[in-house]
Structure 1
Amino acid sequence: MLHYQPGDSLAHRLDPRTKLLFQIAFATVAFAYTTPRGLLAVGVLGGLALAGADTNPLRVLWAYRFVLPFLLAAPLVAMLTLGSPWLVPSEGVGPALASVRNLVVVVVCGGYVRTTSIADSRAAIQRTVPGRPGQFLGLGIELVARFLPVLQRDLLAILDAEAARLGTDRPLRERIATVATAGLNRAFRRADRLSMAMQARCLSWNPTLPPLRFGWIDGPVVGLSVLLLTAAVVRLAGLSPLL
């Protein structure tokens, strides 16, 4: 799983609020222009964004490889019919474009994860969404970001233990049940420990967050994000049939 890595790339020097705005704008325009030409333009922009984040797209794909079977299965399932001719290739075009769109959005999000610390993400959210809702949302995102890698390591440890005990020779249904049961038990135990630790440390809803400040480098990215959002709105309003 991807995680934050300090660096000196363009994306590292951006304010996290700017990066969040770009992520929203990029995803919005990708959903608005889900056509071959539109996705080509979005893909080029996504490649430039990853270059600015000094992030290898292949590494992001490997980190999120668990979503690839679902993206590949969507167009295949859409092409199937319950009668003759059993397979209609034209029905898979739309889902295939949607799968490519989702993959591009996920890969670009990987650049954000690699260049933005969890504390900066929480600070950006709490200073953008006012009041207790922003505090609750920021805390929730921070907990999820810190909790998911732990759960992933637990599942990998369970799979290794299962393989060491020749569990791979058991029927698939039994293996799924064993891994799912052990994984849920560990997740609940982790959640109980997390709850107790939060209470013991007198969890603060409004901790001291890292300082955030817009710089001159944020201006062009904010302007680009606004242009992307405008293009998406124009497209959704049916005023831009070009892409």
Structure 2
Amino acid sequence: MDRLILGRYIPGDSIIHRLDPRSKLLAMILFLFIIFWANNLITNAIIFTFVLLLVFLSGIKFSFFINGIKPMIGIILFTTLFQVFFMGGPTILFQFWFIKMTMEGLQQAGIIFIRFVLIIIFSTLLTLTTTPLSLADGVEAGLAPLARLKVPVHEIGLMLSMSLRFVPTLMDDTTRIMNAQRARGVDFGEGNIVQKVKAVIPILIPLFASSFKRADALATAMEARGYQGGDGRSKYRVLDWKVIDSLAILTMILLGLVLFFLKTTIYR
């Protein structure tokens, strides 16, 4: 559990853990809209402080969130550097041929970097404090109105639950296969890019074989237990929307209003 992987759940009894999964999903959607209203130093500082407060309330060590950012650091840096060197602006700091660095590009790159980091931290907080089954139940409950349009809501929730459940398992399988390959003399860090890609092939083949075997075993287990979909099924886990969930959504709305006010009036 020292590595942060999508689908991991850390048990706890914090205020974040006790929130209804529907309120967490709704808060995540609101956050994705709100974060684009943070377009300057003050608004980014406010939303960054808010996210850090949520992390503190969750009772989870911040190292988990740092480890969650590491796999995405390449994409974050690429997007940030693209903004730095290819975004125009009147204040030019450096220019070589068609590449130039402007003050506006640096500011935009910083904002985009913060947005990426905050989205990853917030989504990581969601998965670490919510079990995959509860998350799937929340998605199914949120999509319930679409069932009238013949959308397979239960099946979508089931697929999400299985996907989140088996992401850590697949990562553990990958680590085990890589360790077995290293014991046989394979070095995944040697050679050029082509050789590194070829070194990954001995990982993919057994990983796919293990995944298909596990999927077949899961399908057999579900059939043996008489699984027939969502029609007529009762719920063992009943979602309960409490006052604290309404307060959580109200807090997100107030945060959005504050950022929108600062963006449109004071820091336009």
Fold match by TM threshold 0.5: yes
Residue-by-residue CA offset, 1:111-150 (whole Å, 9 max, x unaligned)? 2222212222222222222135432332121111112111
Aligned residues: 239
Percentage of matched positions with identical amino acids: 21
Residue-by-residue CA offset, 1:38-94 (whole Å, 9 max, x unaligned)? 32221111111111211223212214421112212222345457x934643334543
Specify which of 173, 194, 208 is matched with residue 154 of structure 1.
173
Specify which of 28, 47, 51 is matched with residue 33 of structure 2.
28
- Comparing 46-55 with 213-222, greater Cα deviation is found at 213-222
Q: Aligned equivalents of 2:181 and 2:132: distance in 1?
A: 33
Q: Which amino acid aligns with 2:221?
A: A
Instruction: Check conservation: 2:83, 2:106, Cα contact below 8 A.
Output: yes
Q: Aligned equivalents of 1:89 and 1:194: distance in 2?
A: 54
What residue is the counterpart of 2:45 in the other structure?
40
Q: Which amino acid aligns with 1:104?
A: L
- Comparing 96-105 with 181-190, greater Cα deviation is found at 181-190
Match status 1:84 vs 2:111: no
- Comparing 97-106 with 148-157, greater Cα deviation is found at 97-106
Equivalent residue runs for 1:1-243 within 5 Å: 1=5, 3-79=8-84, 84-85=96-97, 87-90=99-102, 91=105, 93-130=107-144, 131=147, 132-168=151-187, 171-203=195-227, 204-205=229-230, 206-228=233-255, 239=264, 242=267
User: What's the TM-score once normalised by structure 2's chain length?
Assistant: 0.76
* Greater Rg by CA: 2
Residue-by-residue CA offset, 1:126-183 (whole Å, 9 max, x unaligned)? 2222135432332121111112111111111111111111100674232123223333
Q: Aligned equivalents of 1:195 and 1:218: distance in 2?
A: 36
What is the DSSP-based 3-state SS (H/G/I as helix, E as strand, rest coil) of the residue aligned with 2:243? coil
**How much does 1:34 deviate?**
4.1
Instruction: Check conservation: 1:57, 1:107, Cα contact below 8 A.
Output: no
What is the DSSP-based 3-state SS (H/G/I as helix, E as strand, rest coil) of the residue aligned with 1:89? strand
Instruction: Check conservation: 2:174, 2:207, Cα contact below 8 A.
Output: yes
**How much does 1:13 deviate?**
2.1
Q: Which runs of 5+ in 2 are unaligned?
A: 87-94
Q: Compared with structure 1, are the counterparts of its residues 47 and 196 closer, same or farther at alpha carbon in structure 2 (3 Å cutoff)?
A: same
- Comparing 146-155 with 15-24, greater Cα deviation is found at 15-24
Q: Aligned equivalents of 2:100 and 2:237: distance in 1?
A: 54
Q: Which amino acid aligns with 1:181?
A: I
Q: Which runs of 5+ in 1 are unaligned?
A: none
- Whose relative contact order is higher, 1 or 2, with alpha carbons under 8 Å and at least 6 apart? 1
Q: Which amino acid aligns with 1:101?
A: R
Q: Aligned equivalents of 1:180 and 1:35: distance in 2?
A: 44
Residue-by-residue CA offset, 1:176-207 (whole Å, 9 max, x unaligned)? 23223333333333333333333333334245
Q: Compared with structure 1, are the counterparts of its residues 229 and 36 closer, same or farther at alpha carbon in structure 2 (3 Å cutoff)?
A: closer
Q: Aligned equivalents of 2:265 and 2:14: distance in 1?
A: 34
Q: Compared with structure 1, are the counterparts of its residues 209 and 239 closer, same or farther at alpha carbon in structure 2 (3 Å cutoff)?
A: farther
Q: Compared with structure 1, are the counterparts of its residues 80 and 165 closer, same or farther at alpha carbon in structure 2 (3 Å cutoff)?
A: farther
Instruction: Check conservation: 2:68, 2:120, Cα contact below 8 A.
Output: no
Q: Aligned equivalents of 1:72 and 1:181: distance in 2?
A: 31
